[in-house]
Amino acid sequence: MSVFTAARPSATLWIVATPIGNLEDIAPRAVRVLRQAAVIAAEDTRHSARLTRPLGIDTPMLSLHEHNEQARTEQLLARLADGDDVALISDAGTPLISDPGFVLVRAVRRAGFPIQSVPGPCAAIAALSIAGLPSDRFVFEGFLPAKATPRAARLAELAAETRTLVFYESSHRIGKCVADMARVFGAERQITLCRELTKLHEQSVSLSAEAIGEWLLADDNHRRGEFVLVVAGAPVRQETTPSLDVDALLAELLAITGTRPAAKIVARLTGMPRNEAYARALEMASH
Ligand code: SAM
């Protein structure tokens, strides 16, 4: 239980998304909320001033980053208790997505203050939306471990994942990361690499893991900037049901229908090739 109670119900923590490159992507509602808040908590206040100053936002800012988030959380809870609206932004994109803010949001929620989002840019979602890979289900993995051994171990854990995978990567490790993916996921695994999204030198290429590695080596500029890797999931394995079950199913079906429809149903239900199911149905029907 928290000692803080809301002085007035309107004291709200606003989680505000900011551009991932192109400053035109700031939402009008984000500008209004940032103007009206009593304080903006920003990962790097000098960096964020480059966004806020030209927009005429003169709300006081204080830093909130991974090294001071706990202490800032106490301060910001006190501000909310005083009735002040607080806005949280990060250097780029949506706060909390591979960025600070979780400690604050959890504490504010536990303390019972309202939290509202002003959604907007997020590199992972922008990349997924242009990757040309299945987007109905996906896994956001964020950054892989920086060191080679834990990175390979994490990739091995993900090798059989059938959903599309989304990774963040920096220019320092992009080459090694793609090489590891080709080794662990297989050279043929499809990857869409998105570089410098929404910026002047934006590029996206969709190739096999091996070919993405070659593309990165082909030009020094290809390894510069910020990256999202959208990786195709592993192929879904069609498990065939043990033959005993197939036989039992066929026996039931053959009692009510012919060999062809029975084989068709068994093939559809078990993943068994239709000609095999038909051969087995013929064999059983002849006994
Ligand atoms: N919170 C941010 C978001 O909503 O996307 C992500 C912050 S995380 C610290 C920074 C990483 O996001 C970069 O290393 C890169 O992987 C990815 N990223 C951010 N902006 C990007 C851009 N314009 N193009 C490609 N990747 C980007």
Which CATH fold topology does 124-231 show? 3.30.950
pLDDT at residue 200 in the model = 97
Show the tokens assigned to 76. Answer: 């910001």
Same fold, 13-121 and 124-231: no
Distance (Å) from CA 168 to ligand 1 centroid: 7
Residue 1, pLDDT > 80, answer: no
Q: Is 94 in the pocket of ligand 1 (CB under 6 A)?
A: yes
Lowest-confidence region among 154-158, 230-234, 267-271? 267-271
Q: What is the pTM of this model?
A: 0.82
Phi, psi of 165 (to 5 degrees): -110, 140
Distance (Å) from CA 73 to ligand 1 centroid: 24
pLDDT at residue 22 in the model = 97
Q: Is 97 in the pocket of ligand 1 (CB under 6 A)?
A: yes
pLDDT at residue 231 in the model = 98
pLDDT, tens digit, for every residue of 236-259? 987 655 555 788 888 888 888 898
The residue nearest atom 2 of ligand 1, judged by CA position, is 93
**CA 48, chain centre distance (Å):** 24
Contacts with 227 (C-beta within 8 Å, 6 or more apart), sequence order: 168, 169, 170, 171, 174, 193, 194, 195
Task: Tell whether the torsion through CA atoms of 235, 241, 246 and 248 is positive or negative.
Answer: negative
Distance (Å) from CA 196 to ligand 1 centroid: 9
Which CATH fold topology does 13-121 show? Cobalt-precorrin-4 Transmethylase; domain 1 (3.40.1010)
Contact 131/230 with Cβ under 8 angstroms?
Answer: yes
Q: Is 164 in the pocket of ligand 1 (CB under 6 A)?
A: no
Distance (Å) from CA 89 to ligand 1 centroid: 14
pLDDT, tens digit, for every residue of 57-96? 999 999 999 999 999 999 999 999 999 999 999 999 999 9
Return d(Cα 128, Cα 230) in angstroms, integer. 7
Give the start-to-end residue ranges of the domains of the chain.
Answer: 13-121, 124-231, 246-285
The residue nearest atom 16 of ligand 1, judged by CA position, is 168
Distance (Å) from CA 122 to ligand 1 centroid: 7
Mutate to test the pocket of ligand 1, among 125, 228, 229, 230 (most ligand atoms within 8 A of CB): 228
Mutate to test the pocket of ligand 1, among 15, 16, 20 (most ligand atoms within 8 A of CB): 20
